[in-house]
Structure formats: structure tokens, C-alpha cells
Amino acid sequence: MLPGVFLSKNKKNEQYFRSSVTVFSKHISLGSYKTEEEAHKAYLAARALLADPSCPPGAYAEKEEYNRHLPFEKFICLVNLRDNRVYFPTPIYMMKNFFRYYLEPERYMTFDIDDLFYFARHKIQRRGGRLFTSDYGMQVTLSTRYGIRPYAVCGRDYEFINGDELDYRYENIRILSRYAGVVPIYSDKINTPSQTRGLQYKVKIHFKGNYTVGSYDDEITAAIAYNKAVDLIKSYYPSKKYCQNYIEELPAREYAGLYTQIDIHGFKKSFIRNNPSLHSIHEKG
């Protein structure tokens, strides 16, 4: 066998060739190939890359001597091993206080070093525009690890401070709204001694169009108002599905008290007025 090549067989007893390289006393698989020559070329490319300090992780597309024989993810793993003396099975390249996880040759995500252990063991996958990892057989949407709730909208419910939507360092993510249907806004209402504009929380819900439920002075009241609006809609349309808000820090008794006090009568009138099928129900009532 040529250097770096090993003969193997699959379950159907068909033979194929595996390629691997040993670096810093670590045995690293380079992949499976149909011919001995292809496997040997992968081995030679890996050896050359490990000895080429002038090749950065973003150079894969332009370096034909490497991209012809090595998968992209393996290329990143080897460059990181060369520069940082540590091997990860996922396409991670370590920087001083953070790391990059490469999705494509010129496209990468940025994470804090605290997340290195997780992403070294969990591969980021894509389906449509959604990024997720597999954890114990379940798909975990990437954004939920960072306090971004499902179906949240960037720019409304959260934002990336530096404008880079692939920079998931904690200091770069600002959560604007923790709860479904709640949008933080600044009002002209003067409610502080310094006469500054006050922060309020507007509640909106969608049903064949957008409705405003109301505006509230605190986020928790707004979250409960949204839940109450959901309950109203579901009382007429039980099959409708909404993601309701769970307020972990609020005891059940306090939640029930606030729920009872919150007035959504204006929303109810507007909702019934705009849905003619409900008119007969209320005329009979």
C-alpha cells in the first residue's frame, strides 16, 4: 500500500481505501476513497498543508492543491491543528479569545471561547435558513442557546450589536424582547423625574392580520396580556396554534391575579368586529 493508505471493506464486502495522517502522535482520518491513488493524494495534500504556514483557513477555494483532494471541513481541522496544536473533529479555527466555526470557505460563525467544548462535539447543520445542532437525538435551534426565543425576529426581538448576524459572542447579542408578541418601544409619556421618554411594551398578535392588544409599562404584564389575547382567540378557534409566554419567575397566584386585572376589552371588540362569523355568536349571547 502507498503511504497513508489502508484497505478496508464495507458491509457488502466491497473494498475501498481509507487515508490518514499522524501528527503530534495523533492519528487523524482523512476520509474514504474509491482508489488507492486518490487516498494517497489526500495523504500527500494533508502533509503539505501541515507544513505550509502561509495557507490561512480562508484560502481553501483558491488552493487547488488542497481542495482537489481534501474535504473543506477536514482542511479547516488540519489548519487549526497546524497553527494551534489542537485537533477538533468540527471545522473550528481558534483565535486568541474566541473561535470561528466555518460553514463555508469564506463564511464562518464567531463564538466565545466558553462555547468551544460544545461546538467541538456538536456539528452545526443547516436546513433552509435555519442553523441547528443535534443533541441527544433532537434538533436544537442554534439561537435558542443564546436566549433567542423561537420565531423571534431579528431587529425587533433581538439584535446583533455589530451588525454581523453570524457573530454569536454573548457581548454581541442584545435581547430586545423575551416574550412572544411583546415589542419594546419608547413612548413620549413623561414618567421619570428627569423628564425623559419612557420605555413601554406594545403587544401585538396576528390573526388574518395584525392586532394591537395594548401598551403596558412592564414586560411581564405585556407578556400576560398576549397570553390572554391568545386564550380569547382560541376560545373561538380552538385549532389555532400560538406560542404562549411562560413567566418562570412569577408564582401561579400572582400570574392569575395579573391575568384577571389586565383589560383587553378593546382588542376583543376589534377582533369580533373584523371576524363576521363571530357576530351571530354574540348576538345570541
For residue 272, count CB atoms less than 10 angstroms from its CB and return exposed for 0-12, middle for 13-18, buried for 19 or more: middle
Q: Is pLDDT at 195 greater than 60 in this prediction?
A: no
Question: What angle do the packed helices 265-273 and 219-236 form, to 10 degrees?
Answer: 40
Cα angle 119, 120, 122 (rounded to 5 degrees) comes to: 55
Residue type, 192: T
pLDDT in tens, 205-253: 989 889 999 999 999 999 999 999 999 999 999 998 888 898 888 999 9
Give strand pairing partners of 22: 27
Percent of the chain predicted with pLDDT > 90: 64
Instruction: Decide: 278 and 224 in contact? Cβ < 8 Å.
Output: no
Instruction: Judge whether residue 107 has pLDDT over 80.
Output: yes
pLDDT band at 196 (very low <50, low <70, confident <90, very high): very low
